[in-house]
Structure 1
Amino acid sequence: MQVFDFIIAGSGSAGSVVAERLSASGRFSVLVLEAGGTDRRFYVQMPLGYGKTFFDPAVNWNYKAEPDPGLAGAADHWPRGKLLGGSSSINAMVWIRGAREDFDDWRDAGNTGWGFDDLLPAFKAIEDNQAGADAFRGTGGPVHVTDMSAVVHPLTHRYLEAGRQAGLPLNPDFNGAAQEGVGIYQITTRGGRRMSAARAFLRPAMKRSNVRVETNALATRILFEGSRAVDIEYEQNGQKQQARASREIIVCAGSVASPQLLQLSGIGPGPLLQSLGIPVTQTNANVGANLQDHVGINYTFRAKVPTLNSVLRPWWGKALVGARYLLSGTGPLSLSINNGGGFFRTDPARTRPNMQLYFQAFSTVIPRAGERPILAPDPWPGFSIGLSNARPSSRGEIMIRSADPRDHPKIVANAYSTEADVAEMLAAVKFVRKIAAQPAIAEVIAEEVLPGPSVQSDADLIDDFRKRSGTVYHPCSTCRMGPDPATSVVDPRLRVHGISGLRVIDASIFPGNITGNTNAASIMTGWKGAGMVLEDQG
């Protein structure tokens, strides 16, 4: 049996960071197990190519949630990255840390060392921000963060002015002193290519002799001696393999697969595991529970002026933007479709934003089977203003269906399952219409296409967002962190309660969801968690 100091299950946003940091000194040997394959694919590296990876089984787990009453019975599509870099290799690249208050809430729940002031040095160390360093921003770090302000579509500036006219401040940096307002998103790219966690962290680590990365290697079970995790089983090319960790096994498989692996290994809800014939190593009802996710919807408009549809739809437009990208790494293909966005409060009495905005100078009302048609939008000029809830109160769960690690787990999202979530989304979609009614953008709107002017009453608006909403791909908290094993899975040092030699380091440990996209916080969690491992190793 092969022996390594550390074995990391998963090479995603957190796992790539953990691998790089643990191997940097050369003292420790590191094995990384990745169920997927390489990230060296054209549509992975090209930023706008994520439309092509949205359903691609070669790089995507393509999970499907259970039919959800909150979404009018729809079974939502849950894309998660199945390749080096994980979901950071197929996401929309928007770089949002989350609000100060989010992390202070983590700290105040008993997670010492996880407040915003504790984490700011890590966030700054991670970044190489094109906008430069300041009290909140870093330069020289592994993750290049691109400032899109000089290259966004012209309609984005109309959106920003409309947001200002609707009462929101203009915000030059959502990761700066304040989060509220409208502004231009910063994204994780460099030189026209995606800056995934694999590119920023794992690829440099793979050049070291003390790092071994196994692709197409599905971690199937953790093995124990008493209450200590010692070995990991995995399948690769149809063969069962086993490796030993002399120091620690670190699960970085993400908010879906991390609780799945723990449950397959006998850590989780006792009655469920027993019913599936899995010997119980550690009973913990929180493994897979407490699922939180952001749910969103787009309002779409036909424009009187050209949008990205006008360039990305016709063959000659595709040829032009394709040639520009291949020759210079610039143009629409080098960006995220989310040029602008923002954060707002649905009630002025709230102390901080509870909703996120997205502005897209393109539209995809006309569906295409099996594809997210970012590169083939509607045949008329359109744009969308999207939004998602930032801290919903609805809770779901992710539980295994069988003892077979190849079976996708059962994802019960429970979207809009509380009256509070329904009420705030109703207020939020009304605010989107308020933005669209402002002079700066109303003068270029020909009509509202979705949901359309006939949808006006509260009941109709609620019915519409139940039918058209879906995940915005930010699941977390299924192995949540906390000091009390009765309510959490890992302690504030990310060690699994009741088990030695085993940690979980990824977005599944978030005590609560954050205000915004989760990739930056996932990478920070990898950085912070790896630091804790190194501290504990002396």
Structure 2
Amino acid sequence: MTTQTYDYIIVGAGSAGCVLANRLSADSNNKVLLLETGGSDNSIFIKMPTALSIPMNTEKYAWQFNTEPEPFLDNRKMHCPRGKVLGGSSSINGMVYVRGHAKDFDEWQQHGAEGWDYQSCLPYFKKAEAFYLGGDQYRGEKGPLGVNNGNEMANPLYKAFIKAGQQAGYAQTGDYNAAQQEGFGPMHMTVKDGVRSSASREYLDPVKSRSNLTIVTGALAEKVLLEGKKASGVAYRIKGAKSQAYASKEVILSAGPIGSPHLLQLSGIGDSATLTNAGIEVNHHLPGVGQNLQDHLEFYFQYKCKQPITLNGKLGLISKALIGARWLFNRSGLGATNHFESCAFIRSKAGVEWPDIQYHFLPAAIRYDGKSAFAGHGFQVHVGHNKPKSRGAVTIKSADPTVAPNIQFNYLQHPDDIEGFRACVRLTREIIEQTAFDDYRDGEIQPGKEIQSDEQIDAFVRQAVESAYHPSCSCKMGEDEMAVVNSHTQVHGIEGLRVVDSSIFPTIPNGNLNAPTIMVAEKAADHILGQPLLNASQAKIAMTSQWQTVQRSSEI
């Protein structure tokens, strides 16, 4: 058995782990070890944005988790892939860049995450970002993470979607990641120079040669080593060979919303009854570990298209070859975008203070995983109710670290979530029926015009919804009895141990999770290093003053 000592050990080279490896090793006095179960991200399918469905569904690059039968989704088992490669889920995701609404982070502070309000988080979003239109009080321009709009909405369907939203009485927003999230506008993606801008590419690749940074791939973490109530290191294995590494300062878990709570439980940290049932010795009773699990659901609203302008006409072998060749030679064209180039954020009903429904528009009628497409031309909008009240759990079931934990989201358990998806169906239909789509819309493919009543909508949703792949909140930050880490990301009751990834979100934001995960890691790095935090922003946010009485407003 090999043993070595470092200052910091980071478990997981995903969105958060890559950020931490970069920031912590910037001081040459810090000796840093980064452990990752997966391997290299040097694959054309990871680098080419349009190939996004491939790495997510490939065993080599992603843990292919499935949930337990979900009782409120007709007992369906839901796919829950997580990154298993350098860059983690930032190397397999859809590259959509959404920070979330400002109020989402104020909500974190209200849940006990002191210092994680919007004004405190905004400087770290900016620090991480290189926005293609330049920086201002909301956007960063000198950070590692490239953010752009793909092909500038060259397909007319993108702008038709925005126009339809305006015709339906909603506001337009030029930048949903700035002052005003609510409304219809262009969508942003983590793509730089036509290539996926993953955490590995932007944070890890530039610093791999640092002598004080050791990156070990193919390493399955088995448990955190404890000396009483202090974390001293990590036990891991590579191809069956056992190793141990010790940390003189801290162990940091960045294994994600499934991996981090599972690793804590493997280490005897968690609910004592849960650990005992799995045959694990209890080292520290912490009942919130694995609890509070949240995710976004979405379904596809699909329509036939009158004009042959959709991506459904680009799915043949010759078209794909031409797209690939253009991308290989100059990193441009349809290969350089994730194809989600317009979007919207709206409120599901009057009385909802900030948006809880999100749209991604796609000029194609095709499954997200690419496995099936409409035979003719079509377009779709992905829609989901993004502030769920249902809660689930990640629960260990074996002391064997190779045995996946039970994953149960309890999707649609809460009646408000069901009501939210009814609103998704009815509001989306109204939007697509606007005159902006008259030249394109040629009949509803899914759900189908016959789906009208609450009962019909509910049945359709139960069968049609899929995970938006945003699991989070399973090691929540706060000070209550179910909190796992404090506001400095330190595990309650264990010295020298932190969790830094999307598992520590107290509540799920209204949007995709890669941007806030990277932000959390940027801010956590300053906490870990004991550096002064960036000054809180004074930037204002724009919201409708009539939210209590109206569901939509054309002026915000």
Which is further off, 527-536 or 210-219? Answer: 527-536
1: CA distance, partners of 2:316 / 2:226: 58
- One-letter code of the match for 1:243? A
Deviations 1:455-507 (A, max 9, x none): 111210111011100210111110000023x1200011010000000000000
Change (3 A) 1:28 1:224: same
Question: Counterpart of 1:277?
Answer: 279
After TM superposition, list the pairs within 5 Å mapping 1:73-112 onto structure 2: 73-112=75-114
1:302-451 maps to which residues of 2 (within 5 A)? 302-364=304-366, 372-373=369-370, 377-451=373-447
| Deviation per residue, 1:410-458 (Å, 9 max, x gap) | 1101111011110111012111101111011143111111111111112
Contact 1:16–1:201 under 8 Å retained in 2? yes
Query: For residues 49-198 of structure 1, what are the structure 2 equivalents within 5 Å?
Result: 49-148=51-150, 150-198=152-200
Looking at structure 2, the residues matched to 331 and 378 of structure 1 have their Cα atoms a distance apart, in angstroms, of: 23
- Which amino acid in the other structure matches residue 162 of structure 2? L
Please give the secondary structure, in 2, of the residue aligned with 1:186. Answer: coil
Provide the rounded CA distance (Å) in 2 between the counterparts of 1:405 and 1:168.
Answer: 49
Distance apart, 1:306 and its partner CA = 2.0
For residues 181-218 of structure 1, the C-alpha deviation after alignment (integer angstroms, 9 at most, x for no partner) is: 01111111111110000011111221211000000101
Are residues 1:497 and 2:492 paired?
yes
Name the CA distance, whole Å, in 1 between partners of 2:384 and 2:299: 7
Q: Is the 8 A contact 2:13 2:36 kept in 1?
A: yes
Structure 1 segments unaligned to the other structure (5+ residues):
366-370
The amino acid of 2:271's aligned partner reads P
Deviation at 1:319, TM superposition (A): 2.4
> For residues 488 and 275 of structure 2, what CA distance do their matches in structure 1 show?
26
For 1:488, the equivalent position in structure 2 comes to 483
Deviates more, 1:399-408 or 1:243-252: 399-408
Letter in 1 for 2:329: L
Partner of 1:227: 229
How far apart are the structure 2 equivalents of 1:310 and 1:380? 7
Q: Is the aligned partner of 1:473 residue 2:469?
A: yes
| Structure 2: unaligned runs, 5 residues or longer | 534-556
- Separation of aligned partners in 2, 1:93 and 1:384: 18
Q: CA deviation at 1:349?
A: 2.5
Residue identity matched to 1:265: S
Shift of 1:108: 2.4
- Give the deviation of 1:536 after TM superposition: 7.2
What is the distance in 2 between the residues matched to 1:535 and 1:389? 38
SS in 1 for 2:303: strand
Query: What's the TM-score once normalised by structure 2's chain length?
Result: 0.93
CA gap 1:537/1:407 in 2 versus in 1, 3 angstroms: farther
Q: In 1, distance between residues paired with 2:531 and 2:141? A: 28
- Secondary structure at the aligned position of 1:80 is classed as strand
Secondary structure class of the residue paired with 1:31: strand
Return the offset for 1:310.
4.0
Q: Deviations over 1:265-311 (max 9, x none)?
A: 00011011112221111111110000011111111111101243344
Task: Letter of the 1:373 partner, please give it.
Answer: G
Please say if residues 393 and 409 of structure 2, whose CA atoms lie closer than 8 Å, have aligned partners that are also in contact. yes
CA deviations over 1:99-120 (Å, ceiling 9, x no partner): 1111111122332211111111
The aligned amino acid for 1:321 is I
Change (3 A) 1:5 1:409: same
Paired residues of 1:307 and 1:362 also in contact (CA < 8 A): no
Amino acid at match of 2:337: L
Query: Secondary structure in 1 aligned to 2:83?
Result: coil
Q: Distance in 2 between matches of 1:373 and 1:26?
A: 45
Q: How many angstroms does 1:163 deviate by? A: 1.1
Instruction: Give, as a single letter, the amino acid of the residue that structure 1 aligns with 2:383.
Output: L
Q: Give the distance between the partners of 1:88 and 1:270, measured in 2 at CA.
A: 33
On the 8 A contact 2:150/2:339 being kept in 1, the answer is no
Whether contact under 8 Å (2:312, 2:365) holds in the other structure is no
Alpha-carbon distance in structure 2 between the residues aligned to 1:228 and 1:277: 22
Q: What does residue 368 of structure 1 align with?
A: none
Instruction: Report the AA paired with residue 57 of structure 2.
Output: F
C-alpha change, 1:490 and 1:99, in structure 2 (3 Å) is same
What is the alpha-carbon root mean square deviation over aligned residues?
1.5
The one-letter amino acid of 1:246's match is: S
Percent of counterpart pairs with the same letter? 38
Matched to 1:533, the amino acid is I
Distance 1:423 1:172 in 2: 29
TM-score (norm 1): 0.96
Q: 2-side partners of 1:201 and 1:152: how far apart?
A: 31
